[in-house]
Amino acid sequence: MTPECAQCVKYAVSQVGVACPYSYSGKLDTSLRFKKCSKSVSHDVQLVKHRDDVLVELGEADQGFRVRSSGLVQGFSQCLGDLNQGDCSTCLEEAISKLKSLCGTSEAGDVFLAQCYMKYWTAGYYDPPSRSPNDDDVGKTIAIIVGVVGGVAAFIVIKMTSVAGGV
């Protein structure tokens, strides 16, 4: 790339906000797009401490993406790929603020801002509940009973139609 070309590109990038004032390109947008919070666990001081530790570390996503955990709390954060490090940090700071204010002491929380995303959860929150061994036995028993009753009913109907038909 020639020096003139590089200078032209640099100037064009600096003018995006002026030329397109209503475009989100060229300026940071931290408006809330979506949030989801689980039930509150206000009595669990350790969980809140671990959550806060994770959120602080998630806010330091130097490459635009970070995964962290503390105790039973896990989380990740991500910025849009075109954000510079400063704008990414600013967006993630806003995400932390929104998670704390909107989700309070929830076991899990997600916030989607216009240009970044942050999520935390307690270990096991998203794991499916374990099934008891008896769950399958009940289903099998019901299937057997329905099958036997259906078979007997079909036999009776066939027998009655054959008797009524004189066969």
Fold that domain 31-122 belongs to in CATH: Killer Toxin P4; Chain A (3.30.430)
Number of helices and strands in the chain (H, E): 5, 5
Which pLDDT belongs to residue 64? Answer: 84
In this prediction, the residues of the chain whose per-residue pLDDT falls under 50 are none
Other beta carbons less than 10 A from residue 54's beta carbon: 25
Cα separation of 93 and 43, whole Å?
Answer: 26
Which pLDDT belongs to residue 161? Answer: 80
Q: Give the tens place of pLDDT for each residue, 21-54.
A: 655 556 789 999 999 999 888 778 888 899 999 9
Structural domain spans, the chain: 1-27, 31-122, 134-167
How deeply is 71 buried, as exposed, middle or buried, from its count of CB atoms within 10 A (0-12, 13-18, 19+)?
A: middle
